[in-house]
């Protein structure tokens, strides 16, 4: 099992770079999201010799240069300097909180109810079903045919390289939940979990979680790490034996 410092560093280094976006790594990590995901700039991973005001000014200037209307900053205990007080001073809106959970994969068992199944995504039709779950849950635009094929190529590359997978869960045969996983430095990152509103509370998320843990163990990961929302997945993760190591909070500034 990785220690607390390992876990918090791994959490801070966990950044998603969506297709069609841009990124910059200078005083902190900045990622411009494409319009399909609502646009805007996500900021994290502060490692700078500047003070908090200087780092934030840098991030705001880059956001303006990209022509984006808002900056979303995610806090982390490993940030240097810590920007949270400066964000609050400027009136940034606190919009979200996730709990950082981790635990050893070995010996972890997640019980899944009857009637719920999980499978590895390998085909274009499965990618289409994943998108049908993600669109309403994340309030994003559906992928066109070219986007679906690009998504399949990414999923296939992860499977072929042994670095990760996408999972799809079914309830009585209907696709209702999905989630991805990626192996980085012995950590199994569990990401992108989404369950249709009408299917929640019936074990679909647990099925997705169990299958990703199985895949992670096969790929050599030793510690599972996940960022769970307090109101949704966090209670399930706690019941599954994950330990809460800290929180990350999101603040939004309109530029």
Which residue matches tokens 């994340």? 138
- Closest of 174, 173, 167 to residue 205, by C-alpha: 167
- Taking only the tens of pLDDT, the chain with its 255 residues reads 688 888 988 988 899 899 889 999 999 999 999 988 889 999 999 999 999 999 999 999 999 999 999 999 999 988 999 999 999 999 999 999 999 999 999 988 899 999 999 999 999 999 999 999 999 999 999 999 999 999 999 999 999 999 999 999 999 999 999 999 999 999 999 999 999 999 999 999 999 999 999 999 999 999 999 998 877 788 888 888 899 998 999 999 999
Helix ranges restricted to H, the chain: 4-12, 52-65, 84-89, 124-138, 145-161, 204-218, 233-239
Is 207 strand, coil or helix? Answer: helix
Residue whose structure tokens are 């300097």? 81
Q: Judge whether 121 and 155 are in contact, CB under 8 Å.
A: yes
Q: What letter would DSSP give residue 80?
A: B
Cα(156)–Cα(54) distance, integer angstroms: 42
Give me the residue spans of the domains in the chain: 4-99+250-254, 107-221
Q: What is the C-alpha separation between 244 and 246, in angstroms, rounded? A: 6
What is the assigned CATH class of domain 107-221? Answer: alpha beta
The token duo for 1 is 């099992």
């Amino acid at each position: 099992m990785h220690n607390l410092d390992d876990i918090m560093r791994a959490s801070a280094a966990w950044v998603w770079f969506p297709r069609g976006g841009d990124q910059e790594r200078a005083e902190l990590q900045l990622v411009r999201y494409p319009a399909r995901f609502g646009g805007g700039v996500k900021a994290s991973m502060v490692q700078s010799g500047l003070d908090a005001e200087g780092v934030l000014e840098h991030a705001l200037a880059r956001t303006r240069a990209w022509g984006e209307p808002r900056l979303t900053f995610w806090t982390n205990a490993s940030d240097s300097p810590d920007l949270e007080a400066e964000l609050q001073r400027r009136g940034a809106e606190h919009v979200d909180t996730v709990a950082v959970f981790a635990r050893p994969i070995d010996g972890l068992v997640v019980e899944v109810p009857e009637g719920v199944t999980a499978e590895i995504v390998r085909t274009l039709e499965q990618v289409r079903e994943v998108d049908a779950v993600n669109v309403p849950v994340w309030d994003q635009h559906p992928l066109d045919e070219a986007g679906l094929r690009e998504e399949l190529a990414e999923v296939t590359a992860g499977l072929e390289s042994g670095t990760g997978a996408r999972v799809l869960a079914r309830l009585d045969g209907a696709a209702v939940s999905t989630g991805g996983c990626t192996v980085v430095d012995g950590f199994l990152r569990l990401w992108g979990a989404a369950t249709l509103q009408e299917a929640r509370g019936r074990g679909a998320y647990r099925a997705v979680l169990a299958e990703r843990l199985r895949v992670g163990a096969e790929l050599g990961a030793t510690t599972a790490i996940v960022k769970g929302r307090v109101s949704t997945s966090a209670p399930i993760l706690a019941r599954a034996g994950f330990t809460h190591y800290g929180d990350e909070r999101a603040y939004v500034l309109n530029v």
